[in-house]
Structure 1
Amino acid sequence: MNFRLLAVLLCVAILTPAAAQTPDLVAIAKASGRPEIPGLKMVWLAPWGEVAKAHPWRNIIVHQTEGPAGSARGGAEAQARNPTRRGVTVWVETDGTVYWAVPEDLVPTHGDGANRNDNKFIDNGPTYHQVIGSNSIGVEFAGNYPDVTRGATEAQIAAWRVLVQVIRARYDIPLQRVYAHDWIDFKDARYCEGCALATLARQWGP
């Protein structure tokens, strides 16, 4: 056996086990319980059940709450105590910690009925009165207080890059069904709620 062929075979032998151990995010996304998700610090206030028994989520709506840094945990814990109150299923802290607050078969109250119909950000034909809380899983990013125009932190963006993949894979949500709250509802005119994060998600794809 010549030296070059031996070197190639050794490289394959070394690299194959590492590749085999690469986490399959799609497989993890279909799990139950409290799975470890690479790239996420997840706090499971409500563990996943069987995905087949989850609410039929069709969309993702990105929210930003006017809360200070550190407020996501309190919001998530309050949501966990009263899951259907106004709020969301998933909360993201400024340090990137993600809180899964609500069992996935329950529907929190969020959104305002998809009342935007001016096509300001996207074509609202498919969203008007259609992308609503009862069919959309909500993700809330904390930390834009007292300056509502402040964007998400680098840690939040890094967490979102993984989180949006996981949610989409778990519920088979197409990329074009990731929406900013301001894209579907008339919101605070001072800033565009969730717009940068939803835009990033669509740019990341697939």
Structure 2
Amino acid sequence: MGRKVILVIGAIFVSIVFITANATTAAAQGKSRGAGGQGASPGGPPSGTGVGRGIGSSSDNSVGRADTGRGTASDRSNGRSDAGLDRARTASDNLHAADNDLQRHPNLASDMHLSANGLRAGYQSALTANPNLTFGQYVAATRLAHNLGANNPNITRDAILAGLAAGHSIGRTLQDLGLSKDEAKTASKQVDTEIKQSRRRG
């Protein structure tokens, strides 16, 4: 009986030692895992960084430049379109005024031995280079070239029109083409008189 009691007590003691040892080992492993997890966290990428953020930033930057580029191109394109429309509108208005002038004063063409259609066609062509050219200026340039061209080969209608397109007056243009100031003034007055006579007779 005494021997059995001793064996039972010994078995209980061994069990207690075994359980205590296992509990200590488990606790140590838990601490080790906890420390390892905390150590790994600081080494990882912070929130909002890394490849995802890089792609987002690159996309934002690219879209910004693209939007700016499209906006600038659009503004420039619209500017060119508006300028082109203004030129076309001015040329159309001037050509319409020329049609009315020729209908009222057909002698403007016939006095220069030209048909009304021929004079109009020449003026329409000149408007493509200078939409601000008036019909009166074109008629004057044509008459001046007719009156002066024989003795002054440089003085042609195209040369006079080029001077007008550059913003010069007819008098200044004639001087640039070789006439003196007085000669240019006299030639201009003569042409003005001829044009007035054609209008009165028309």
* Common fold: TM-score over 0.5: no
TM-score (norm 2): 0.31
Q: Determine which structure has more spread, i.e. the larger CA radius of gyration.
A: 2
Higher relative contact order, chain-length normalized (CA < 8 Å, sep 6+): 1
Q: Point out the structure with the larger helix share.
A: 2
